[in-house]
């Protein structure tokens, strides 16, 4: 019997590599492939979760989020961005992967189009298609500094366009978008009556400029869905906790769907997130500088490798070097890097067709391991 539905019998998008067999069979492998960190969550956050679990936070919680966490998120938002967001505009989610899927499931009717700037975080495509939507890709290019072109954006808009997904700083390119781009996107969104789905999960990793939520621009709160997550900003990838700020009818629709998917976000993780927010000034500065140091070190090493090209890093903990000089496809380049140098990275094609000709390095190992990886790369010829 065929158990998989016809609609799921497609070849899925080329995902981010998680090469288990390489990890097992290559003892000196340096893994720069997954956007997860080598650092453990701060011990005070872990202790808070432990203590609260022992107090009884082991049950289902409020489907919209632990009231104390909700209050802490809204307070932090007010302090950091000067905007008072009412409680009914917040939904705590079990990660922003789930969050983005909820947004699409609640926002799209079959055939609705969602603009995605490419290269893009691979999962967006599945999240849009899962909801019956159609992803429409608007390219950005290394040679243009990954700038978002207003003309290309306008050309991609049709009567079916509902929303654009905007990720700042950007995974995989490391690009950072400033006020001018935000204002352009806001202008187009208002004019064409589109929603902006802002994936703002690397906000502590701006190396240039600072985080300005697009929802804070005039007239944008009513059409912006802001996703955030504790995964990257607080090195809490395994805790699976994030949140969404959006107009209340959408929050209610997402909460209803979430009720059928996981009901409430893990209680223990939410208690941990309360502590994380209390420590945000200290941890944000610390993690920002740790990753900035790694990324800048890696960029310096890449500059000395003739077969690679790179823009100066501006945010996140990713680098997205070009490999045109090798004449290889990104998959073949990554295969050879694994075979010849025991380095695991992600082919650019995993991030959409505009990612071809690149590969992604996640600087999620310490400086010593990064140094070793670049020593190996420097010795290669293509």
Ligand X SMILES: Cc1ncc(COP(=O)(O)O)c(C=O)c1O
270 binds ligand X, rule: CB under 6 A: no
Helix H or strand E segment including 271: helix 267-278
Binding ligand X (rule: CB under 6 A), the pick from 89, 181, 237, 252 is: 237
Closer residue to ligand X, CB minimum distance, 57 or 124: 124
**Which residue carries 């909820």 as its tokens?**
102
Q: How far is the CB of 202 from ligand X (least distance, A)?
A: 7
Closer residue to ligand X, CB minimum distance, 126 or 372: 126
235-to-9, 109, 285, 319 alpha-carbon distances in Å: 35, 35, 13, 18
Q: How far is the CB of 237 from ligand X (least distance, A)?
A: 5
Contact 123, 229 (CB under 8 A): no
Upstream peptide bond of 358 is cis (omega within 30 degrees of 0): no
Beta bridge partners of 177: none
255 binds ligand X, rule: CB under 6 A: no
Nearest Cα residue to 213 out of 251, 247, 162, 179? 179
Cα of first residue to Cα of last residue in the chain, in angstroms, is: 48
Task: Report residue 92: phi and psi, to 5°.
Answer: -85, 135
37 binds ligand X, rule: CB under 6 A: no
Q: How far is the CB of 35 from ligand X (least distance, A)?
A: 4
Q: How far is the CB of 375 from ligand X (least distance, A)?
A: 27
For residue 317, what are the contacts with CB-CB under 8 A and spacing of at least 6? 35, 37, 202, 205, 232, 291, 294, 295, 362, 363, 364
Q: How far is the CB of 195 from ligand X (least distance, A)?
A: 17
203 binds ligand X, rule: CB under 6 A: no
Q: Which stretch binds ligand X (CB under 6 A): 6-14, 93-101, 285-293, 351-359?
A: 93-101
**Dihedral class, residue 221 (left if φ above 0, else alpha if ψ from -120 to 50, else beta):** alpha
Q: How far is the CB of 339 from ligand X (least distance, A)?
A: 26
Binding ligand X (rule: CB under 6 A), the pick from 229, 233, 267, 270 is: 229
373 binds ligand X, rule: CB under 6 A: no
121 binds ligand X, rule: CB under 6 A: yes
35 binds ligand X, rule: CB under 6 A: yes
Contact 362, 318 (CB under 8 A): yes
167 binds ligand X, rule: CB under 6 A: yes
Q: How far is the CB of 228 from ligand X (least distance, A)?
A: 8
Closer residue to ligand X, CB minimum distance, 31 or 199: 199
Q: How far is the CB of 25 from ligand X (least distance, A)?
A: 25
Contact 77, 70 (CB under 8 A): no
Contact 22, 34 (CB under 8 A): no
Q: Which stretch binds ligand X (CB under 6 A): 18-26, 89-97, 179-187, 270-278?
A: 89-97
Q: Which residues bind ligand X (CB under 6 A)?
A: 35, 95-97, 121, 167, 171, 199, 201, 229, 231, 237, 242
């Amino acid at each position: 019997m065929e158990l998989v539905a016809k609609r799921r019998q497609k070849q899925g998008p080329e995902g981010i590599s998680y090469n288990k067999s390489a990890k097992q069979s290559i003892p000196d492998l340096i893994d720069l492939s997954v956007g997860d960190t080598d650092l453990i969550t701060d011990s005070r956050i872990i202790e808070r979760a432990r203590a609260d679990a022992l107090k009884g936070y082991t049950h289902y919680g409020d489907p919209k989020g632990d009231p104390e966490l909700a209050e802490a998120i809204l307070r932090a938002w007010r302090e950091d961005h000067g905007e008072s967001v009412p409680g009914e505009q917040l939904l705590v989610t079990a990660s922003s992967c789930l969050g983005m899927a909820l947004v699409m499931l609640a926002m799209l009717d079959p055939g609705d189009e969602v603009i995605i700037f490419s290269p893009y975080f691979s999962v967006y495509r599945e999240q849009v298609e899962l909801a019956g939507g159609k992803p429409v890709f608007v390219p950005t290019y290394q040679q243009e500094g990954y700038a978002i072109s207003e003309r290309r954006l306008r050309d991609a808009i049709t009567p079916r366009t509902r929303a654009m997904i905007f990720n700042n700083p950007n995974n995989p390119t490391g690009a950072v978008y400033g006020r001018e781009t935000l204002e352009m996107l806001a202008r187009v969104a208002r004019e064409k009556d589109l929603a902006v789905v802002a994936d703002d999960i690397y906000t502590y990793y701006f190396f240039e400029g600072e985080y300005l939520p697009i929802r804070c621009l005039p007239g944008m709160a009513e059409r912006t869905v802001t996703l955030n997550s504790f995964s990257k900003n607080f090195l809490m990838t395994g805790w699976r906790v994030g949140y969404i700020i959006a107009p209340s009818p959408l929050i209610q629709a997402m909460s209803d769907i979430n009720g059928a998917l996981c009901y409430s976000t893990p209680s223990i993780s939410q208690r941990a997130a309360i502590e994380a927010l209390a420590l945000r000034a200290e941890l944000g500065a610390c993690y920002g500088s740790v990753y900035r140091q790694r990324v800048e070190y890696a960029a310096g090493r890449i500059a000395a490798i003739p077969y690679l090209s790179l823009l100066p890093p501006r945010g996140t903990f990713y680098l997205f070097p070009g490999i045109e000089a090798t004449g290889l496809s990104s998959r073949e380049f990554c295969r050879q890097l694994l075979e010849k140098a025991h380095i695991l990275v992600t082919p650019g094609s995993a991030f959409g067709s505009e990612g071809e000709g690149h590969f992604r390095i996640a600087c999620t190992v310490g400086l010593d391991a990064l140094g070793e990886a670049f020593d190996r790369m420097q010795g290669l010829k293509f």
